[in-house]
């Protein structure tokens, strides 16, 4: 693909940044955003950084009707000496292209997309909060914009990146959550879109989430849609169980999202020689392990919380208390190591970190 | 719910209408559209008819990320004496509210929505084409617009109705189509969103559609997502088989959309004393019926095509030719009767038709 220049249209006045203690998740956005268009004739074209602003979209645009959309989620972190860095962004764009393929969306140039993020984050560097556990959330997404009501892949798209400064997930340190096993609703099924990061998967999850939220549960644990027996994911995280010294996580089966954190956890455990296996695991087996006193830990893993220990797992009318509802050693060590690498506080043996070049605004062409 | 007035903001110049022979599906829209907003504080508010125009929506609006959206599809028809009429619109808004419930979207006032359609269609009456088989397609839809990246039900929505003049589905009379049975991809599964009319279901269907489109098939036939054995739907239509004198259609099971046309077909068959049964039906049974020479007809039913005879059904490597690839008697009679009622050419024994009142602009308040 030819070398492309990102056109730059800077905003005239910058917004006020939120105070650290006011930081939430995904409510405040930075001054600029990245956009690139797609048409069948031109391919992906006109990459530009422009002031953060509403999109003007025809009411017949496909995304409003047929949900043809994909997204990603990653973060920029500030190191102790004030540098901005990303964590395995190539994984996210590789996954975005796999999501694109499932959703019949034309692929993007993964390297170029990372360059776009670098330029945007460099420009918005002041927006990266520096308090413990805070970061700049990065949301790349693609929407179908052809004004046409036929059920067919769109011929027009927009690829957009927006940034949002976010607070620490755990205000008072890493803390176990309560999870309810979902028996009624299904998130995804083999042959469906579960391994793609597309809107419909999240839309369909809201109802289950809503039904347990009032009861003190943070998330639901999803079972497979076919047999309703096997563990898939927990909320928007992949899930791990430590049983009798061995860590088990559900194997990727086509209906589970392949998490970047999941992959990193597996690599770290291998590196530490902690037994880790990817395989089918039924809720019955988890229950039995608890009965036998060998369910040592359970935790979720995802970009938002990094690692989320599960202190209680409620299945039908039974509540399993795991590790006395305390954070387990493996979860704690993973959390510390992953956040250590992400924030540049510890060694990065796998070269996971990608620095945001201060000078990567080179090549930007100011249009105002 | 209190009586509400629909605010009116008329466009200054009207667009040119397409010629009959240029009419496609869903590419051209009329001069005006209906919009109503929702917020947690105000509920559904500010109903208005405004010039058809792009929506201005924040890039972080939930619909772009988590697919929380629902829609409906119905038509306005012109009778021989030039009156506009709708077909069972109450069914569509009842279904819209069921879709809303599954997607955690607040319900709308069904009667008010029909009133809004009546007013909009009355205003745009000149846009209803009058050639044989043409109509004005009506697309009500709801999108989630809260600017927030948390995975949670939105607290802001827009309910919008747009109109599009559409050509005859069959340019040369009702014509059998070729269908491929889909073995790899799944449209919906029990516990998922299959019985809701929400974007994600259509996004997930694109890939299967794409994989057969190049091979001369009009649509795919979806099997159930659990056992991959039972017939569910055909493309965006419900499906019927006439086997040995009896018509069979898959029973509503939570993953099948409850079509308005499906319901009307069942009522008509009952009225005519043609045996009709709603039950599970496997692809194996359909195949066997064909082998035994008792698969007399197969057809899809939906708003777009009304009734679509299936002339060929390809399953793995076998192609079943049904009724010599000709339109069967039951399909033909259903098509003629349904279109006859819709266009006001024959009696309407079930009171399915709702006239669009010429004077229903009463109560509109011009704001320009
Ligand atoms: C459904 C789902 N599963 C798992 C994950 C974890 O993926 P990652 O570690 O890449 O954030 C996420 C969140 O991104 C998700 O939405
Ligand atoms: C998935 C699906 N099934 C069935 C139908 C048929 O429903 P109706 O007869 O209400 O148009 C439609 C189209 O509306 C559809 O999208």
Residues of A in contact with B185 (CB under 8 A): 191-192
- For the record, the structure tokens of A38 come out as 């797609």
In tens, the pLDDT along A59-96 reads 999 999 999 999 999 999 999 999 999 999 999 999 99
Residues of B in contact with A64 (CB under 8 A): 63, 69, 141, 143, 199
Residues in contact with A262: Cβ distance below 8 Å, sequence separation at least 6, in sequence order:
A238, A249, A301
Contact at CB, A202 and B152, closer than 8 angstroms: no
pLDDT band at A360 (very low <50, low <70, confident <90, very high): low
Distance A262 CA to ligand 1 centre (A): 8
For all residues of chain B together, what is the average pLDDT? 95
pLDDT band at A170 (very low <50, low <70, confident <90, very high): confident
pLDDT band at B362 (very low <50, low <70, confident <90, very high): very low
Q: Are B306 and B335 in contact (CB under 8 A)?
A: yes
Q: What is the pTM of this model?
A: 0.96
- A7-171+351-366: CATH class: alpha beta
Among all ligands shown, which has an atom nearest to the Cα of B201? 2
In tens, the pLDDT along B157-167 reads 999 999 999 99
In tens, the pLDDT along B106-139 reads 999 999 999 999 999 999 999 999 999 999 999 9
For all residues of chain A together, what is the average pLDDT? 95
Residue from the list B25, B143, B207 with its beta carbon closest to the beta carbon of A64: B143
pLDDT band at A357 (very low <50, low <70, confident <90, very high): confident
Tokens 């516990």, located at residue: B191
**What are the extents of the domains in chain A?**
7-171+351-366, 177-326
Closest ligand 2 atom to residue B201 Cα is: 1
In tens, the pLDDT along B140-159 reads 999 999 999 999 999 999 99
Q: Which CATH architecture has domain A177-326?
A: Alpha-Beta Barrel (3.20)
Burial of B45 (0-12, 13-18, 19+ CB in 10 A): exposed
In tens, the pLDDT along A285-338 reads 999 999 999 999 999 999 999 999 999 999 999 999 999 999 999 999 999 999
State residue A1's pLDDT score.
Answer: 46
CA angle B295, B215, A195 (to 5 degrees): 95
pLDDT band at B171 (very low <50, low <70, confident <90, very high): confident
In sequence order, which ranges of chain B are alpha helices (DSSP H)? Answer: 62-66, 89-102, 110-123, 199-213, 260-271, 283-291, 329-342
- Average pLDDT of span B298-325: 97
Residues of A in contact with B199 (CB under 8 A): 63-68, 199-200, 203
Residue from the list A25, A54, A150 with its beta carbon closest to the beta carbon of B150: A25
Contact at CB, B63 and A68, closer than 8 angstroms: no
ipTM rounded to 2 decimals = 0.96
- Average pLDDT of span A219-239: 96
In tens, the pLDDT along A32-56 reads 999 999 999 999 999 999 999 999 9
């Amino acid at each position: 693909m030819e070398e492309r220049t990102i056109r730059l249209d800077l905003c005239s006045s910058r917004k006020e940044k939120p105070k650290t203690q006011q930081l939430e998740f995904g409510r405040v956005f930075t001054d600029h955003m990245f956009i690139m268009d797609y048409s069948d004739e031109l391919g992906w074209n006109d990459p530009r950084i422009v002031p953060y602003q509403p999109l003007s979209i025809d009411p017949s645009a496909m995304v409003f009707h047929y949900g043809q959309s994909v997204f990603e989620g990653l973060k920029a972190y500030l190191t102790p000496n004030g540098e901005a860095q990303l964590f395995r962004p190539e994984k996210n764009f590789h996954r975005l292209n796999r999501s694109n393929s499932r959703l019949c969306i034309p692929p993007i140039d993964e390297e170029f997309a990372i360059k776009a993020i670098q330029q945007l984050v460099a420009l918005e560097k002041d927006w990266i909060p520096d308090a413990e556990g805070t970061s700049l959330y990065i949301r790349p997404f693609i929407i179908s914009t052809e004004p046409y009501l036929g059920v067919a892949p769109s011929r027009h798209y927009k690829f957009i990146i927006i940034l949002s400064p976010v607070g620490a997930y755990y205000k008072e340190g890493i803390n176990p959550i309560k999870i309810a096993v979902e028996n009624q609703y299904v998130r995804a099924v083999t042959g469906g879109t579960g391994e793609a990061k597309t809107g419909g998967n999240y839309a369909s999850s809201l109802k289950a989430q809503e039904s347990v939220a009032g009861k003190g549960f943070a998330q639901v644990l999803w079972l497979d849609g076919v047999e309703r027996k096997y563990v898939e994911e927990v909320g928007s995280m992949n899930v791990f169980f430590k049983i009798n010294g061995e860590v088990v996580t559900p194997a990727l089966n086509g209906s589970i999202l392949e998490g970047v954190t999941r992959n990193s956890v597996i690599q770290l455990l291998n590196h530490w020689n902690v037994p880790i296996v990817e395989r089918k695991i039924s809720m019955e087996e988890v229950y039995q392990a608890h009965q036998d006193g060998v369910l040592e830990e359970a935790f979720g893993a995802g970009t938002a919380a990094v690692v989320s220990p599960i202190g209680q797992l409620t299945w039908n009318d039974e509540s399993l208390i795991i590790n006395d509802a305390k954070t387990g050693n493996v979860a704690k060590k993973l959390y510390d190591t992953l956040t250590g690498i992400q924030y540049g506080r510890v060694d990065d043996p796998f070269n996971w970190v990608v620095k945001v070049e201060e000078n990567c605004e080179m090549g930007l062409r100011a249009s105002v």
